[in-house]
C-alpha cells in the first residue's frame, strides 16, 4: 500500500506551532500521565505519522494524541486499519452545527490528501541535488536574518520548520546516497540555526533540544563543517551558562575534527572560541596562547577558498576580534578588551547588525571599567533602540551596564542622562 501523506496532522501542527520534536515530547508526557510510563516517541515518529508510513498509531499513542490536541485520531487524519480514507461530505448534507462543520472540513482535507499526495503507480519522484541546492539557498536567507536580527523566536521557528522540510524530502521519493547525505546536512544546518537563535535569545533549554537533534542529523550527514558549527555553538551555549568545563569539552570536539587540519580558518575559529571560554577560568596565559594560535591559523588560511555562509565574520577577522574582546572582558583586562572592540567594529560588515550592537555594549563595559563613565554612557547610548529592546543578549548587557554605571557614578549627570535614555528608549535597560 502506498503511503498517503497526513496533511490534516501537518496542518494542525503548523496552526499550533508544533515541530516534530515538540509534538513527540508532548505526546510522551501525555503517555506518562495516562500509563505512568513516559512514551518513547521522537521526531522521527512524528515524521512517520505525517508521511503516512504510520496510518494508525497504537491505542495508547492515539489516546495521548487526543489528550494533546483535543481531537480524535480520525479527526487528525489517521485512518483505522482496513478502512479507506473518508470521502468529502456533499455540500447538501452539511449542517450548520459548528462541530459538524469541523468534521466535514477535516474529512475534506483527508480526501484532498488522497487525491493530491498519493504517488503515481507508474512513476516515483526523483530527489536530486537541485532540491539540496534550493534548501541551501533558504539556509543562506536564515543566516542573513540572523546577522541582522539574531535571537528572534521567528528565526528559530522558521529554521526548525525548514529542518523538518529537509527531512520530509527523505521520504518524498528516490535519491542517491550523496543526495540523502546532503538532505541530512541541510536539516542539521537549519536545526543548528534554530539552536543558535535560541542561544542568542537566551532560551537555553530550547537550545539544548535543538542541539540534540542537530548533532544526530550531522552524524547522519557525515558533513564535518556542520558538525563543527554545532559543537562550536554548544561550546558558546555552555559559556553563556557559566559552565566552562562543558564549554571547553564541546569546543574540543569541534577543534579535533579533521576539518580543522585541512582548513586553517576553521582552526582559527576553534582556537578563538576556546579563548573566549578560557576567559571564564581566569587563566590569562591560556587565553593568550589560544588567541596566538587563532591569529597564526588565520594568517595561514587561504582567503580564496569557498566557505559556508555562516563563516562570514570569520573570513574577514571580525569574529576573531569579537571573541578576543569577550575573552579579555572575562579576564578583567579592559584596555585590551577595548582595543579588540574597536577593531571588531571596524571589521564587521554592515549587515552584521546583531554583532555590532553586542560589541558596542561590550565596548561600553570596557570603557566604564577603566573609569571613563561619560564616554561609556555615550557608547552605550549608541546601541540602536531596535537591538536594545528586541534582542535578549543586548538587553541583558545593557541592563548590566546600567547597574554598573549607577554603582560607579551614583547621582552623577551621566547616570541621570542614562536613566532618561533608558526610560525613553530602552525597556528594562
3-class SS string, the chain? CCCCCCHHHHHHHHHHCCCHHHHHHHHHHHHHHHHCCCCCCCHHHHHHHHHCCCCCCCHHHHHHHHHHHCCCCCCCCCCCCCCCCCCCCCHHHCCCCHHHHHHHHHHHHHHHHHHHHCCCCCCCCECCHHHHHHHHHHHHHHHHHHHHCCCCHHHHHHHHHHHHHHHHHHHCCECCHHHHHHHHHHHHHHHHHHHHHHHHCCCHHHHHHHHHHHHHHHHHHCCHHHHHHHHHHHHHHHHHCCCHHHHHHHHHHHHCCCHHHHCHHHHHHHHHHHHHHHHHHCCHHHHHHHHHHHHHHHHHCCCCCCCCHHHHHHHCCHHHHHHHHHHHHHHCCHHHHHHHHHHHHHHCCCCCHHHHHHHHHHHHHHHHHCCCHHHHHHHHHCCCHHHHHHCHHHHHHHHHHHHHHHHHCCCCHHHHHHHHHHHHHCCCC
Q: Are residues 161 and 74 in the same domain?
A: no
- In this structure, are 106 and 189 located in the same domain? no
Q: Residue 107: is its pLDDT beyond 60? A: no
Domain that holds residue 169: 129-222
Element (H, E) at 139: helix 129-148
Q: Of 187, 202, 222, at which residue does a domain stop?
A: 222
Q: Sorting pLDDT into bands at 50, 70 and 90, what band is 17?
A: confident
User: Phi, psi at residue 174, to the nearest 5°?
Assistant: -85, 155
150 shares a domain with 191: yes
97-118: b or e for each residue (b if 16 or more CB lie within 10 Å)? eeeeeebbbbbebbeebbeebe
355: in domain: no
pLDDT at position 33 = 76
Of 33-47, 64-78, 113-127, where does mean pLDDT reach its minimum? Answer: 113-127
Dihedral, CA of residue 342, residue 343, residue 344 and residue 346, to nearest 10:
90
Using pLDDT thresholds of 50, 70 and 90, give the confidence band for residue 386.
confident
Same domain, 110 and 25: yes
Contact 279, 251 (CB under 8 A): no
**Domain-located, residue 164:** yes
Q: What mean pLDDT is predicted for residues 247-252?
A: 96
Instruction: With respect to residue 30, please indicate whether it lies within any of the assigned structural domains.
Output: yes
Q: What is the Cα–Cα distance from 274 to 288, expressed in whole angstroms?
A: 11
Last residue of a domain, one of 187, 222, 257: 222
Closest CA to 211 of 242, 232, 234, 244: 234
426 vs 411: CA distance, rounded Å: 20
CB 338 within 8 A of CB 375: no
386 within a domain of the structure (yes/no) = no
Residue range 321-367, pLDDT digits in tens: 999 999 999 999 999 999 999 999 999 988 888 899 999 999 999 99
Q: What is the CA radius of gyration of the chain?
A: 26
This prediction has a pTM of 0.70
pLDDT at residue 426, rounded to an integer: 66
Q: Where do runs of H (alpha helix) occur along 4-97? A: 7-16, 20-35, 43-51, 59-69
Whether residue 106 is predicted with pLDDT greater than 60 in this model: the reply is: no
- Structural domain contains residue 229: no
Residues 214 and 138 in one domain: yes
For the segment 132-146, the average pLDDT, to the nearest whole number, is 88
Regarding whether 56 and 29 lie in a shared domain, the answer is: yes
| Residues 212, 233, 384: CA angle, nearest 5 degrees | 125
Q: Which residues pair with 126 in a beta bridge?
A: 174
Q: What is the pLDDT of residue 126?
A: 87
Average pLDDT score, the chain: 86
Is residue 328 a part of any domain in this protein? no
**H-helix segments, 282-347:** 284-300, 312-315, 318-331, 334-347
Q: How confident is the model at residue 105 (pLDDT cuts 50, 70, 90)?
A: very low
Count of the separate structural domains present in the chain:
2
Confidence check: pLDDT of 411 > 60: yes
- What's the CA gap between 263 and 270, in Å, rounded? 11
| Predicted local confidence at residue 152, as pLDDT | 84
Q: Using pLDDT thresholds of 50, 70 and 90, give the confidence band for residue 93.
A: very low
**Domain-located, residue 37:** yes
61 and 134, same domain (yes or no) = no
Q: Could you tell me if 15 and 106 lie in one domain?
A: yes
Query: Is 109 found in the same domain as 11?
Result: yes
Are 112 and 11 in a shared domain? yes
Q: Does 156 fall in a domain?
A: yes
Asked whether 348 and 355 are in contact (CB, 8 A), the reply is: yes
Does 107 share its domain with 134?
no
Distance, CA of 233 to CA of 227 (rounded, Å): 10
pLDDT beyond 50 at 87: no
* Contact (Cβ atoms closer than 8 angstroms) between residue 24 and residue 137: no
222, 244, 275 - which closes a domain? 222
Q: Is 50 exceeded by the pLDDT of residue 269? A: yes
Looking at the fold, whether 103 and 21 belong to one and the same domain comes out as yes
Q: What's the whole-number mean pLDDT along residues 206-224?
A: 94
Amino acid at each position: 500500500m502506498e503511503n498517503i501523506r497526513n496533511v490534516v496532522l501537518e496542518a494542525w501542527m503548523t496552526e499550533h506551532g508544533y515541530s516534530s520534536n515538540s509534538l513527540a515530547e508532548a505526546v510522551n508526557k501525555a503517555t506518562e500521565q495516562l500509563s505512568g510510563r513516559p512514551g518513547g516517541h521522537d521526531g522521527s515518529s512524528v515524521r512517520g505519522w505525517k508521511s503516512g508510513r504510520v496510518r494508525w498509531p497504537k491505542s495508547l499513542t492515539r489516546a495521548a494524541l487526543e489528550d494533546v490536541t483535543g481531537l480524535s485520531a480520525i479527526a487528525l487524519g489517521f485512518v483505522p486499519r482496513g478502512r479507506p480514507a473518508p470521502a468529502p461530505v456533499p455540500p447538501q448534507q452539511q449542517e450548520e452545527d459548528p462541530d459538524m462543520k469541523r468534521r466535514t472540513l477535516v474529512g475534506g482535507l483527508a480526501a484532498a490528501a488522497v487525491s493530491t499526495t498519493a504517488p503515481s503507480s507508474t512513476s516515483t519522484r526523483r530527489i536530486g541535488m537541485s532540491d539540496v541546492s534550493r534548501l541551501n539557498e533558504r539556509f543562506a536567507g536564515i543566516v542573513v536574518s540572523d546577522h541582522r536580527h539574531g535571537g528572534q523566536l521567528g528565526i528559530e521557528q522558521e529554521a526548525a520548520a525548514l529542518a523538518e522540510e529537509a527531512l520530509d524530502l527523505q521520504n518524498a521519493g528516490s535519491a542517491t546516497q550523496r543526495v540523502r547525505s546532503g538532505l541530512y546536512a541541510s536539516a542539521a544546518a537549519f536545526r543548528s540555526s534554530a539552536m543558535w537563535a535560541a542561544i542568542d535569545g537566551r532560551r537555553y533549554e530550547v537550545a539544548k533540544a535543538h542541539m540534540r537533534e542537530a548533532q544526530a542529523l550531522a552524524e547522519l550527514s557525515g558533513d564535518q563543517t556542520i558538525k563543527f558549527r554545532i559543537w562550536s555553538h554548544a561550546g558558546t551555549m555552555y559559556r553563556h551558562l557559566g559552565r566552562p568545563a562543558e564549554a571547553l569539552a564541546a569546543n574540543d570536539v569541534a577543534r579535533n575534527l579533521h576539518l580543522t587540519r585541512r582548513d586553517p580558518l576553521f582552526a582559527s575559529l576553534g582556537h578563538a572560541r576556546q579563548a573566549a571560554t578560557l576567559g571564564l577560568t581566569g587563566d590569562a596565559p591560556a587565553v593568550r596562547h589560544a588567541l596566538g594560535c587563532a591569529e597564526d591559523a588565520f594568517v595561514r588560511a587561504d582567503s580564496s577558498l569557498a566557505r559556508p555562509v555562516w563563516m562570514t565574520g570569520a573570513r574577514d577577522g571580525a569574529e576573531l576580534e569579537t571573541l578576543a574582546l569577550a575573552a579579555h572582558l572575562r579576564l578583567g583586562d579592559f584596555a585590551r578588551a577595548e582595543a579588540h572592540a574597536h577593531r571588531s567594529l571596524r571589521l564587521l560588515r554592515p549587515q552584521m547588525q546583531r554583532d555590532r550592537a553586542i560589541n558596542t555594549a561590550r565596548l561600553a563595559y570596557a570603557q566604564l571599567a577603566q573609569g571613563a563613565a561619560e564616554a561609556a554612557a555615550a557608547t552605550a547610548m549608541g546601541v540602536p533602540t531596535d537591538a536594545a529592546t528586541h534582542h535578549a543578549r543586548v538587553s541583558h548587557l545593557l541592563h548590566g551596564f546600567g547597574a554598573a554605571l549607577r554603582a560607579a557614578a551614583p547621582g552623577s549627570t551621566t547616570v541621570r542622562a542614562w536613566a532618561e535614555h533608558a526610560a525613553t528608549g530602552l525597556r528594562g535597560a
